[in-house]
């Protein structure tokens, strides 16, 4: 206790890093087969291990990278790929806007560290933000580990390539879906949340079937958000803990 | 190890676009003061986005995936994250071999 008082900052800093690593650990484990799968698929499409590594390190967005690789041709259609990436990652704008008031960071830290914005780290941070603010140490510990993990294992996947065998046989392709279901469950099962999930899932599935990727992401998300707005009581009481903090 | 120029440019374009989407939210966040329906809509962003990403795989790929997704959802309320993923992967493998 005396030591805590001597340097409370260092103690909480370490505690935040530990909390970040603990929260992201299951995501990191689940991401390994997905990363290997991405590298292997990209290599099968003709990308070199170096190109796969550079893409994972700089883009660091699984959904957009899988979509890009799925439609990859040589030479690469730069504008088409950039536009598909924008469509798939447009959700980051909403996610960043939602998380930004809940993080304890300077503006510079925010701009640098939001490179680490991913569905997983963001979902875990939103959940943590229900109880306490998200610190830079917590966020960067999660993001850094997830980034290194994604980059390393997608590179390894590209090198190993066909040695991995059929990913469907070992169910690795479903790990991503199961991971997201687990993250969604973390947001509880209130009436509004259940309506949101049902509408978002239905619209995304229909749009994907009749129109195709990547339109299902934006349309499903927007439909779910609209449904939540309609399902909510018109003057819902303020969220007390969150108000008290801001 | 080769690095094709066009491929590199495409990767850089994807990287820049992605980074812009990641920081764009920072410009609007501080001006948002939300209550009532607007707040409900904002709070719904996380589950709505996550579900929209996986809905095609979970719902329209086939019976094995749809049932596995339902099993995974049941597990998700009782197990930690890694356990949920394990249940999902195992159940999809079992269901694919049965169906």
Burial class (CB in 10 A: 0-12, 13-18, 19+), A99: buried
Q: Establish if A32 touches chain B: CB-CB under 8 angstroms.
A: no
The alpha helices in A45-106, defined as continuous H runs, are 49-59, 62-70, 78-89, 91-99
- Angle, helices A215-231/A91-99, rounded to nearest 10 degrees: 40
Residues spanned by the domain of B11? 5-98
Residue showing tokens 């994250």 = B81
pLDDT for residue A240: 38
Give the N- to C-terminal CA distance of chain B in Å, as an integer. Answer: 42
**Cβ-based contacts of A225 with chain B (< 8 Å):** 41, 44-45, 48
Query: Considering its fold, how many domains does chain B have in total?
Result: 1
Binary contact (B30, A174; C-beta < 8 A): no
User: Are A78 and B9 in contact (CB < 8 Å)?
Assistant: yes
Nearest CA in chain A to B40: A229
* SS percent in chain A: helix, strand, coil, step 5: 80, 0, 20
Half-sphere exposure of A103 (CA within 13 A, CB side): 30
Give the contacts of A123 (CB within 8 A, at least 6 positions apart). Answer: A183, A186, A187, B46, B50
Q: What is the mean pLDDT of residues B36-47?
A: 81
Distance, in Å, from the CA atom of A161 to the CA atom of A152, rounded to the nearest integer, reads 14
**According to the model, what pLDDT value does residue B36 have?**
81
Structure-block tokens of residue A82: 């950039």
> In this complex, do A85 and B13 lie within 8 Å of one another by their Cβ atoms?
yes
Interface predicted TM-score of the whole assembly (ipTM), two decimals = 0.83
Residue-by-residue pLDDT tens, chain A, 246 positions: 444 455 666 668 899 999 999 999 999 998 888 888 889 878 878 899 999 999 999 999 987 888 788 667 788 888 878 877 887 788 888 889 989 999 999 999 999 999 999 989 999 999 999 999 999 999 999 999 999 999 999 999 999 976 666 666 777 778 878 888 988 898 888 999 999 999 999 999 999 999 987 788 888 989 999 999 999 886 544 443 343 333
């Amino acid at each position: 206790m005396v030591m805590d008082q001597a340097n409370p900052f260092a103690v909480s800093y370490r505690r935040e890093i530990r909390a970040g690593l603990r929260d992201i650990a299951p995501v990191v484990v689940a991401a390994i087969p997905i990363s290997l799968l991405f590298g292997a698929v990209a290599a099968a499409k003709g990308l070199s291990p170096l190109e796969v590594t550079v893409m994972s390190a700089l883009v660091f967005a699984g959904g957009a990278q899988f979509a890009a690789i799925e439609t990859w041709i040589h030479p690469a259609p730069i504008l088409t790929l950039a536009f598909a990436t924008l469509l798939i990652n447009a959700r980051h704008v909403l996610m960043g806007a939602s998380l930004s008031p809940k993080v304890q960071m300077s503006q510079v830290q925010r701009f640098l560290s939001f490179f680490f914005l991913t569905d997983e780290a963001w979902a875990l941070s939103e959940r943590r933000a229900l109880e306490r603010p998200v610190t830079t140490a917590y966020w960067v510990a999660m993001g850094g580990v997830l980034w290194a993990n994604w980059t390393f294992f997608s590179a390894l996947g590209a090198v190993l390539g066909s040695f991995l065998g059929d990913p469907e046989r070992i169910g690795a392709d479903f790990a991503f879906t199961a991971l997201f279901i687990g993250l969604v469950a973390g947001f509880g099962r209130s009436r509004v949340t259940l309506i949101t999930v049902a509408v978002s899932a239905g619209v995304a599935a229909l749009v994907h079937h009749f129109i195709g990727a990547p339109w299902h992401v934006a349309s499903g998300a927007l439909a779910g958000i609209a449904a939540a707005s309609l399902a909510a009581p018109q003057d819902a009481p303020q969220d007390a803990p969150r108000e008290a903090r801001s | 190890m080769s690095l094709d120029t066009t491929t590199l440019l495409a990767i850089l374009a994807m990287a820049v676009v992605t980074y812009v989407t990641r920081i764009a939210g920072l410009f609007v966040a501080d001006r948002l003061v939300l209550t009532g329906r607007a707040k409900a809509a904002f709070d719904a962003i996380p589950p709505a986005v996550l579900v929209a990403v996986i809905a095609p795989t979970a719902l329209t790929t086939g019976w094995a995936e749809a049932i596995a997704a339902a099993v995974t959802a049941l597990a998700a309320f009782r197990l930690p994250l890694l356990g949920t993923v394990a249940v999902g992967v195992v159940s999809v493998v079992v269901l694919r071999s049965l169906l």
